[in-house]
């Protein structure tokens, strides 16, 4: 029996246009960030909201890649790429 990680089965709510990687798009609810998003797909810094998937934002640190807050979101970038592939959506992001 194959074990599937929780994030691999994640589906956005019907009608939701929120892009989990970029944080853009029209949401079908009143939440800012998706409340159902598994932590393994969260590519944003919890401290400054720098996006490690798009490498965009205004981090207070000099080098976001060496920031102590970068470890978890950087580890989630590959999960997010794989999630997009499973959903049949290609991405041109790094």
pLDDT, one tens digit per residue, over 80-91 is: 999 988 887 655
pLDDT for res 30 = 78
pLDDT for res 3 = 53
User: Helices in the chain by DSSP H: which ranges?
Assistant: 71-86
pLDDT, one tens digit per residue, over 14-67 is: 888 888 888 888 888 877 778 889 999 999 999 999 999 999 999 999 999 999
6 pLDDT higher than 90 = no
Q: What is the mean predicted confidence (pLDDT) over 73-78?
A: 95
pLDDT for res 1 = 47
What confidence category does residue 5 fall into, taking pLDDT thresholds of 50, 70 and 90? Answer: confident
HEC readout, 57-70: CCCCCCCHHHCCCC
**HSE of 62 in the Cβ direction (CA atoms, 13 Å)?**
0
Rg (Cα) of the chain, in Å, rounded?
14
Domain boundaries, the chain: 1-87
């Amino acid at each position: 029996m194959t074990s599937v990680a929780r994030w691999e089965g994640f589906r956005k709510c019907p009608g939701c246009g929120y892009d989990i990687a970029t944080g853009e798009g029209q949401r079908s609810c009143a939440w800012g960030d998706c409340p159902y998003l598994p932590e393994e797909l969260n590519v944003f810094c919890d401290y400054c909201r720098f996006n490690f998937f798009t490498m965009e934002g205004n981090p207070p640190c000099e080098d976001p890649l060496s920031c102590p807050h970068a470890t978890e979101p950087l580890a989630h970038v590959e999960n997010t790429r794989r999630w997009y592939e499973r959903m049949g959506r290609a991405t041109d992001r790094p």
